Amino acid sequence: MMDDGGLDVKAVILGATDVGKTSLTMRYCHGTFNHPTSATIGASFLQKRIVLKDGNKMTLQIWDTAGQERFRSMAPMYYRNAKAAILVFDLSKGDESFEKAKEWLEDLRNHVEPDIVLAIVGNKCDSPTEFDFEVANSYAQSIGATAHKSSALTGVGVEEIFQDVARRLMAKHIESQKAVRNKQISAGGSNRGARTGSKGMGNVRLDSSKGSSGGQKGCC
């Protein structure tokens, strides 16, 4: 959806409890870090207005979901209509946390479009870890996602995650607009061609112009 504030898009943050989903959201939206935090119940909702490097604007509706097992069956209702997902695991807990994140991803996949913009985030990079991040990198690559390291505690890598997600969402949006325009142009060309009896001509001329191209609430 596009209004004066630019593209308006829903993104979900998911993953097991305690990996730092709420902390990442708070760091990104408010620049703060609280320790300790309370476990999220259901989900929290925040909005963030983003200006991309190319000047395009976007509002991200960020749904920070609960990772405790008792909320897991509720999570899919927050996934609906999400165009982006940020899957978080805890770097300090290594392979075990990464494998757990993949399970959350399976749940997500059953409820969203297959081409959702996905970022996989190893959070708590300020803590010691034995996790080989190349594993996350190659997994992300194999499924068309991006992989990031972050620390909600220090702020390292946090902005980059959301900028990357926003940039990819905008690129997808621009591509889909182009596709719609080209379709309209082709359809217009066929109609004109049919009227004038020069079907082929209409398409050729017009093809050449292809280049044109419910939880807690808050706002930040």
Report the partner that residue 56 touches, choosing among Mg ion, ligand GTP, none (CB closer than 5 to 8 A by kind): none
Q: Is residue 85 a contact partner of residue 108, using CB atoms and an 8 Å limit?
A: yes
- The H-assigned helical ranges of the chain are 21-30, 75-79, 94-109, 133-142, 158-196, 199-207
Examine residue 61 and tell whether it contacts ligand GTP (CB under 6 A): no
Coil vs helix vs strand at 120 = strand
Residue 187 neighbours by CB under 8 Å, 6+ apart: none
For ligand GTP, the binding residue among 7, 60, 121, 152 (CB under 6 A) is: 152
Examine residue 40 and tell whether it contacts Mg ion (CB under 5 A): yes
Report the partner that residue 53 touches, choosing among ligand GTP, Mg ion, none (CB closer than 5 to 8 A by kind): none
Examine residue 97 and tell whether it contacts Mg ion (CB under 5 A): no
Q: Which residues of 12-48 are buried (b: 16+ CB within 10 A; e: fewer)?
A: bbbbbbbbbbbbbbbbbbeeebeeeeeebeebbbbeb
Q: List the end-to-end C-alpha distance of the chain, in Å, as a whole number.
A: 19
Site residue total, Mg ion (CB under 5 A): 3
Examine residue 67 and tell whether it contacts ligand GTP (CB under 6 A): yes
Residue labelled with tokens 């220090």: 154
For ligand GTP, the binding residue among 8, 17, 107, 182 (CB under 6 A) is: 17
**Footprint of ligand GTP on residues 121-140 (CB under 6 A)?**
123-124, 126-127
Examine residue 44 and tell whether it contacts ligand GTP (CB under 6 A): no
Minimum Å gap between C-beta 58 and Mg ion is 23
Examine residue 22 and tell whether it contacts Mg ion (CB under 5 A): yes
Judged by beta carbon, residue 18 or residue 160, the one nearer ligand GTP is 18
Examine residue 21 and tell whether it contacts ligand GTP (CB under 6 A): yes
Q: Is residue 122 a contact partner of residue 132, using CB atoms and an 8 Å limit?
A: no
Residue 67, both tokens: 């990772």
Rounded Cα distance between 216 and 43, Å, is 7
Judged by beta carbon, residue 21 or residue 48, the one nearer Mg ion is 21
Minimum Å gap between C-beta 39 and Mg ion is 6
The residues of the shown chain that bind Mg ion, judged by CB under 5 A, are 21-22, 40
The residues of the shown chain that bind ligand GTP, judged by CB under 6 A, are 17-23, 35-37, 39-40, 66-68, 123-124, 126-127, 151-153
